[in-house]
Chain A
Protein backbone atom coordinates (compact mmCIF):
# COMPACT_ATOMS: atom_id res chain seq x y z
CA UNK A 1 0.00 0.00 0.00
CA UNK A 2 1.36 3.40 -0.97
CA UNK A 3 2.28 5.60 1.99
CA UNK A 4 0.34 8.83 2.23
CA UNK A 5 2.63 11.87 2.56
CA UNK A 6 2.42 13.26 6.10
CA UNK A 7 0.62 16.60 6.11
CA UNK A 8 -0.23 19.13 8.74
CA UNK A 9 -2.48 22.14 8.77
CA UNK A 10 -1.00 25.57 9.42
CA UNK A 11 -2.48 29.05 9.54
CA UNK A 12 -0.83 31.80 7.50
CA UNK A 13 0.32 34.70 9.69
CA UNK A 14 -0.30 37.15 6.84
CA UNK A 15 -3.89 36.30 5.83
CA UNK A 16 -4.97 34.04 8.75
CA UNK A 17 -6.16 31.33 6.36
CA UNK A 18 -5.37 27.67 6.85
CA UNK A 19 -3.65 25.36 4.42
CA UNK A 20 -1.87 22.02 4.43
CA UNK A 21 1.86 21.54 4.15
CA UNK A 22 4.20 18.61 4.23
CA UNK A 23 5.19 17.60 7.73
CA UNK A 24 8.87 18.34 7.11
CA UNK A 25 8.48 21.59 5.18
CA UNK A 26 10.19 24.67 6.62
CA UNK A 27 9.06 27.50 4.37
CA UNK A 28 6.30 27.57 1.76
CA UNK A 29 4.29 30.11 -0.17
CA UNK A 30 0.78 30.60 1.15
CA UNK A 31 -1.71 29.38 -1.48
CA UNK A 32 -4.16 32.14 -0.45
CA UNK A 33 -2.03 35.30 -0.32
CA UNK A 34 1.05 33.99 -2.18
CA UNK A 35 3.40 35.34 0.47
CA UNK A 36 6.35 33.35 1.67
CA UNK A 37 5.80 31.99 5.19
CA UNK A 38 7.99 30.12 7.66
CA UNK A 39 6.27 27.14 9.20
CA UNK A 40 8.91 25.79 11.52
CA UNK A 41 8.62 25.41 15.28
CA UNK A 42 11.12 27.41 17.26
CA UNK A 43 12.65 27.10 20.71
CA UNK A 44 14.43 29.97 22.50
CA UNK A 45 16.82 28.55 25.07
CA UNK A 46 18.87 31.56 26.20
CA UNK A 47 18.89 35.36 25.97
CA UNK A 48 18.04 36.66 22.55
CA UNK A 49 16.97 39.90 20.91
CA UNK A 50 15.22 40.03 17.59
CA UNK A 51 13.23 42.41 15.45
CA UNK A 52 10.28 40.72 13.82
CA UNK A 53 9.81 37.03 14.45
CA UNK A 54 7.18 35.17 12.44
CA UNK A 55 6.29 31.54 11.99
CA UNK A 56 3.20 29.45 11.37
CA UNK A 57 4.64 26.98 13.87
CA UNK A 58 4.90 27.20 17.62
CA UNK A 59 7.39 29.29 19.59
CA UNK A 60 8.58 27.97 22.93
CA UNK A 61 10.57 30.13 25.32
CA UNK A 62 12.39 27.81 27.65
CA UNK A 63 12.88 28.28 31.38
CA UNK A 64 15.49 30.94 32.15
CA UNK A 65 15.45 32.10 28.52
CA UNK A 66 14.82 35.77 27.83
CA UNK A 67 13.46 36.88 24.49
CA UNK A 68 13.08 40.53 23.47
CA UNK A 69 11.54 41.37 20.11
CA UNK A 70 9.66 44.09 18.28
CA UNK A 71 6.93 41.70 17.26
CA UNK A 72 6.26 38.01 17.66
CA UNK A 73 3.78 36.19 15.42
CA UNK A 74 3.38 32.47 15.99
CA UNK A 75 0.17 31.15 14.54
CA UNK A 76 0.89 27.67 15.94
CA UNK A 77 0.96 28.94 19.53
CA UNK A 78 3.27 30.44 22.10
CA UNK A 79 4.56 28.64 25.18
CA UNK A 80 6.32 30.94 27.64
CA UNK A 81 8.33 29.41 30.44
CA UNK A 82 10.96 32.17 30.52
CA UNK A 83 10.66 35.89 29.82
CA UNK A 84 9.10 37.50 26.75
CA UNK A 85 9.22 41.24 26.05
CA UNK A 86 7.64 42.27 22.78
CA UNK A 87 5.75 45.29 21.52
CA UNK A 88 3.30 43.14 19.58
CA UNK A 89 2.46 39.51 20.26
CA UNK A 90 0.05 37.70 17.99
CA UNK A 91 -0.73 34.02 18.16
CA UNK A 92 -3.46 31.41 18.28
CA UNK A 93 -2.98 30.35 21.88
CA UNK A 94 -0.66 31.46 24.65
CA UNK A 95 0.35 29.40 27.61
CA UNK A 96 2.34 30.99 30.41
CA UNK A 97 4.14 28.35 32.46
CA UNK A 98 4.72 28.68 36.22
CA UNK A 99 7.93 30.71 35.79
CA UNK A 100 6.76 32.55 32.69
CA UNK A 101 6.74 36.35 32.48
CA UNK A 102 5.50 38.46 29.61
CA UNK A 103 5.14 42.11 28.74
CA UNK A 104 3.67 43.60 25.60
CA UNK A 105 0.49 44.09 23.63
CA UNK A 106 -1.00 40.74 22.93
CA UNK A 107 -3.63 39.23 20.68
CA UNK A 108 -4.62 35.56 20.91
CA UNK A 109 -7.60 33.28 20.54
CA UNK A 110 -7.05 31.50 23.85
CA UNK A 111 -4.94 32.26 26.86
CA UNK A 112 -3.95 30.10 29.82
CA UNK A 113 -1.51 30.68 32.63
CA UNK A 114 -0.22 28.64 35.54
CA UNK A 115 0.00 29.88 39.12
CA UNK A 116 3.22 31.84 39.59
CA UNK A 117 3.27 33.27 36.07
CA UNK A 118 3.27 37.04 35.62
CA UNK A 119 1.95 39.53 33.11
CA UNK A 120 3.84 42.78 33.50
CA UNK A 121 1.50 44.96 31.49
CA UNK A 122 0.21 45.26 28.00
CA UNK A 123 -2.98 45.68 26.05
CA UNK A 124 -4.71 42.32 25.60
CA UNK A 125 -7.21 41.10 23.05
CA UNK A 126 -8.14 37.53 23.93
CA UNK A 127 -10.87 35.52 22.23
CA UNK A 128 -11.64 38.33 19.80
CA UNK A 129 -12.06 37.03 16.27
CA UNK A 130 -9.85 38.91 13.81
CA UNK A 131 -12.00 40.75 11.30
CA UNK A 132 -11.51 40.44 7.56
CA UNK A 133 -10.37 44.05 7.57
CA UNK A 134 -7.58 43.13 9.99
CA UNK A 135 -6.43 40.29 7.78
CA UNK A 136 -6.49 42.50 4.70
CA UNK A 137 -4.57 45.24 6.45
CA UNK A 138 -1.95 42.67 7.41
CA UNK A 139 -1.76 41.27 3.92
CA UNK A 140 -0.39 43.27 1.08
CA UNK A 141 -1.10 40.43 -1.24
CA UNK A 142 0.89 40.54 -4.44
CA UNK A 143 -0.65 39.22 -7.63
CA UNK A 144 -0.07 35.50 -8.19
CA UNK A 145 3.47 34.79 -9.31
CA UNK A 146 3.68 34.22 -13.03
CA UNK A 147 6.69 31.95 -12.80
CA UNK A 148 7.89 29.25 -10.46
CA UNK A 149 10.44 30.40 -7.89
Chain B
Protein backbone atom coordinates (compact mmCIF):
# COMPACT_ATOMS: atom_id res chain seq x y z
CA UNK B 1 0.00 0.00 0.00
CA UNK B 2 1.46 3.37 -0.94
CA UNK B 3 2.37 5.74 1.88
CA UNK B 4 -0.42 8.11 0.88
CA UNK B 5 -2.97 5.56 2.09
CA UNK B 6 -1.35 4.96 5.42
CA UNK B 7 -2.70 6.72 8.48
CA UNK B 8 0.25 7.91 10.50
CA UNK B 9 0.00 8.65 14.17
CA UNK B 10 3.02 10.85 14.61
CA UNK B 11 5.49 10.61 17.42
CA UNK B 12 4.05 13.64 19.21
CA UNK B 13 0.48 12.26 19.16
CA UNK B 14 -1.32 10.49 22.00
CA UNK B 15 -4.55 8.62 21.40
CA UNK B 16 -6.86 6.96 23.87
CA UNK B 17 -10.00 5.06 22.94
CA UNK B 18 -11.30 2.98 20.08
CA UNK B 19 -9.79 3.37 16.61
CA UNK B 20 -10.73 1.71 13.36
CA UNK B 21 -8.87 2.04 10.07
CA UNK B 22 -9.98 0.73 6.68
CA UNK B 23 -6.42 0.69 5.40
CA UNK B 24 -3.03 0.62 7.02
CA UNK B 25 -1.78 2.57 10.00
CA UNK B 26 1.63 3.40 11.32
CA UNK B 27 1.83 4.27 14.98
CA UNK B 28 4.83 6.36 15.94
CA UNK B 29 3.23 7.99 18.97
CA UNK B 30 1.27 6.45 21.81
CA UNK B 31 -2.06 4.64 21.70
CA UNK B 32 -4.24 3.19 24.39
CA UNK B 33 -7.50 1.31 24.00
CA UNK B 34 -8.52 -0.70 20.98
CA UNK B 35 -7.32 -0.61 17.37
CA UNK B 36 -8.74 -2.60 14.49
CA UNK B 37 -8.24 -2.74 10.73
CA UNK B 38 -8.61 -5.25 7.92
CA UNK B 39 -5.19 -4.07 6.77
CA UNK B 40 -1.80 -3.64 8.38
CA UNK B 41 -0.87 -1.99 11.65
CA UNK B 42 2.73 -1.01 12.17
CA UNK B 43 3.95 0.02 15.58
CA UNK B 44 7.09 1.82 14.51
CA UNK B 45 10.32 2.24 16.42
CA UNK B 46 9.62 4.64 19.27
CA UNK B 47 5.88 3.96 19.10
CA UNK B 48 4.01 2.76 22.16
CA UNK B 49 0.80 0.86 22.15
CA UNK B 50 -1.13 -0.39 25.16
CA UNK B 51 -4.16 -1.76 23.41
CA UNK B 52 -6.07 -4.61 21.92
CA UNK B 53 -4.87 -4.60 18.32
CA UNK B 54 -6.81 -6.65 15.77
CA UNK B 55 -5.47 -6.53 12.22
CA UNK B 56 -4.70 -8.66 9.22
CA UNK B 57 -0.99 -8.05 9.67
CA UNK B 58 0.80 -6.50 12.63
CA UNK B 59 4.40 -5.35 12.56
CA UNK B 60 6.00 -4.23 15.80
CA UNK B 61 9.28 -2.36 16.05
CA UNK B 62 8.37 -0.39 19.18
CA UNK B 63 6.65 -1.18 22.47
CA UNK B 64 3.38 -3.08 22.60
CA UNK B 65 1.32 -4.22 25.54
CA UNK B 66 -2.12 -5.76 25.80
CA UNK B 67 -3.35 -8.13 23.15
CA UNK B 68 -2.24 -8.59 19.54
CA UNK B 69 -4.38 -10.50 17.05
CA UNK B 70 -2.75 -10.83 13.64
CA UNK B 71 -5.13 -12.76 11.42
CA UNK B 72 -2.51 -13.38 8.77
CA UNK B 73 0.71 -12.76 10.66
CA UNK B 74 2.52 -10.87 13.38
CA UNK B 75 6.09 -9.79 12.81
CA UNK B 76 8.30 -8.66 15.68
CA UNK B 77 11.16 -6.58 14.31
CA UNK B 78 14.57 -6.19 16.02
CA UNK B 79 13.53 -3.28 18.26
CA UNK B 80 10.23 -4.79 19.33
CA UNK B 81 9.44 -5.07 23.04
CA UNK B 82 6.16 -6.89 23.41
CA UNK B 83 4.38 -7.77 26.63
CA UNK B 84 1.11 -9.00 25.26
CA UNK B 85 -0.97 -12.04 24.51
CA UNK B 86 -0.47 -12.98 20.88
CA UNK B 87 -2.77 -14.88 18.54
CA UNK B 88 -1.65 -15.07 14.94
CA UNK B 89 -1.81 -17.05 11.74
CA UNK B 90 1.95 -16.92 11.59
CA UNK B 91 4.57 -15.40 13.85
CA UNK B 92 7.96 -14.02 12.87
CA UNK B 93 10.34 -13.01 15.63
CA UNK B 94 13.49 -11.34 14.40
CA UNK B 95 16.77 -11.36 16.32
CA UNK B 96 16.75 -8.64 18.93
CA UNK B 97 13.01 -8.65 19.51
CA UNK B 98 11.69 -9.56 22.92
CA UNK B 99 8.30 -11.01 23.67
CA UNK B 100 6.64 -12.01 26.93
CA UNK B 101 3.08 -13.29 27.01
CA UNK B 102 0.72 -16.06 26.07
CA UNK B 103 1.03 -17.21 22.51
CA UNK B 104 -1.09 -19.18 20.06
CA UNK B 105 -0.17 -19.45 16.41
CA UNK B 106 -1.95 -21.27 13.62
CA UNK B 107 -5.20 -21.12 11.68
CA UNK B 108 -7.27 -22.02 14.75
CA UNK B 109 -5.49 -19.59 17.04
CA UNK B 110 -7.07 -16.50 15.52
CA UNK B 111 -10.63 -17.82 15.61
CA UNK B 112 -10.16 -18.78 19.26
CA UNK B 113 -8.74 -15.34 19.96
CA UNK B 114 -11.93 -13.82 18.59
CA UNK B 115 -13.87 -15.55 21.33
CA UNK B 116 -11.51 -14.26 24.01
CA UNK B 117 -7.79 -14.73 24.27
CA UNK B 118 -8.10 -13.69 27.89
CA UNK B 119 -9.27 -17.21 28.65
CA UNK B 120 -5.81 -18.55 27.89
CA UNK B 121 -4.05 -19.89 30.89
CA UNK B 122 -0.61 -21.21 31.51
CA UNK B 123 -0.87 -24.54 29.81
CA UNK B 124 0.03 -28.04 30.77
CA UNK B 125 0.73 -30.95 28.42
CA UNK B 126 -2.33 -32.66 26.89
CA UNK B 127 -1.57 -35.85 28.73
CA UNK B 128 0.42 -36.05 31.93
CA UNK B 129 3.92 -37.19 31.07
CA UNK B 130 4.40 -40.83 31.80
CA UNK B 131 7.10 -41.92 34.18
CA UNK B 132 7.04 -45.37 32.64
CA UNK B 133 10.13 -47.10 31.37
CA UNK B 134 11.88 -45.00 28.75
CA UNK B 135 11.97 -46.31 25.21
CA UNK B 136 15.58 -46.05 24.08
CA UNK B 137 14.65 -46.85 20.49
CA UNK B 138 12.57 -43.69 20.36
CA UNK B 139 15.58 -41.52 20.94
CA UNK B 140 18.81 -41.54 19.10
CA UNK B 141 21.80 -39.80 20.57
CA UNK B 142 24.43 -38.81 18.12
CA UNK B 143 28.01 -37.75 18.65
CA UNK B 144 28.64 -34.14 17.85
CA UNK B 145 31.41 -33.16 15.50
CA UNK B 146 33.04 -29.75 15.48
CA UNK B 147 31.98 -27.44 12.66
CA UNK B 148 35.43 -27.60 11.13
CA UNK B 149 35.35 -31.37 10.86
CA UNK B 150 33.97 -32.73 7.58
CA UNK B 151 30.85 -34.88 7.72
CA UNK B 152 32.54 -37.88 6.13
CA UNK B 153 34.89 -38.14 9.12
CA UNK B 154 31.89 -38.53 11.43
CA UNK B 155 30.49 -41.32 9.29
CA UNK B 156 33.84 -43.08 8.95
CA UNK B 157 34.82 -42.89 12.61
CA UNK B 158 31.91 -42.94 15.03
CA UNK B 159 32.73 -41.73 18.50
CA UNK B 160 34.05 -44.32 20.92
CA UNK B 161 32.74 -43.39 24.30
CA UNK B 162 32.09 -44.86 27.68
CA UNK B 163 28.47 -44.91 28.78
CA UNK B 164 27.43 -42.33 31.35
CA UNK B 165 27.51 -43.45 34.96
CA UNK B 166 24.41 -44.80 36.64
CA UNK B 167 24.15 -42.07 39.26
CA UNK B 168 23.14 -39.40 36.78
CA UNK B 169 19.85 -37.81 37.58
CA UNK B 170 17.82 -36.93 34.55
CA UNK B 171 15.70 -39.28 32.50
CA UNK B 172 17.77 -38.29 29.53
CA UNK B 173 20.82 -39.79 31.15
CA UNK B 174 19.06 -43.14 31.47
CA UNK B 175 17.93 -42.91 27.88
CA UNK B 176 21.43 -42.13 26.71
CA UNK B 177 22.67 -45.12 28.69
CA UNK B 178 20.11 -47.38 27.03
CA UNK B 179 20.93 -46.09 23.56
CA UNK B 180 24.63 -46.49 24.16
CA UNK B 181 24.20 -50.04 25.43
CA UNK B 182 22.07 -50.87 22.41
CA UNK B 183 24.71 -49.47 20.11
CA UNK B 184 27.40 -51.49 21.86
CA UNK B 185 25.41 -54.73 21.65
CA UNK B 186 24.61 -54.23 17.98
CA UNK B 187 27.96 -52.75 17.08
A interface, CB within 8 angstroms of B: 6-8, 23-27, 36, 38-55, 57, 65, 68-70, 85-87, 101, 103-106, 110-113, 115, 117-128
B93 and A127: CB pair below 8 A? Answer: yes
Residues of chain A lying within 8 A (CB to CB) of residue B106:
101, 117-120
Q: Is B6 an interface residue (CB 8 A)?
A: no
Complex A-B: 24 CB contacts under 8 Å? A6-B145, A8-B144, A27-B165, A36-B169, A41-B142, A41-B144, A42-B140, A45-B140, A47-B138, A49-B129, A52-B171, A53-B170, A68-B127, A85-B126, A86-B125, A87-B124, A110-B93, A118-B106, A120-B104, A123-B123, A124-B99, A126-B99, A127-B97, A127-B98
**Stretch of B35-43, B55-63, B172-180 that contacts chain A:** B172-180
Secondary structure of the B contact surface, majority rule: loop
Q: For B149, give the chain A residue with the smallest CB separation.
A: A6
In chain B, residues 152-171, which have Cβ atoms closer than 8 Å to a Cβ of chain A? 159-161, 164-165, 168-171
A54 touches which of B103, B120, B143, B170 (Cβ 8 Å): B170
A27 touches which of B127, B147, B171, B173 (Cβ 8 Å): B173
A42 and B141: CB pair below 8 A? Answer: yes
Residues of chain B lying within 8 A (CB to CB) of residue A6:
145-146, 148-149
Number of residues of chain B lying within 8 A (CB) of chain A: 58
Q: For A76, give the chain B residue with the smallest CB separation.
A: B144
B125 and A87: CB pair below 8 A? Answer: yes
B interface, CB within 8 angstroms of A: 86, 90-93, 95-106, 108-109, 120, 122-127, 129-132, 134-135, 137-149, 159-161, 164-165, 168-173, 175-176
Contact status of A26 and B138, CB under 8 A, knowing A53-B172, A69-B129, A115-B90: no
With A and B bound together, what is the CA distance between A26 and B124 in angstroms?
Answer: 31
Within the complex, the shortest CB–CB distance from B79 to chain A, in Å, comes to 11
With A and B bound together, what is the CA distance between A119 and B112 in angstroms?
Answer: 13
B171 and A51: CB pair below 8 A? Answer: yes
With A and B bound together, what is the CA distance between A69 and B124 in angstroms?
Answer: 10
A121 and B146: CB pair below 8 A? Answer: no
Contact status of A126 and B127, CB under 8 A, knowing A50-B175, A119-B104, A121-B103: no
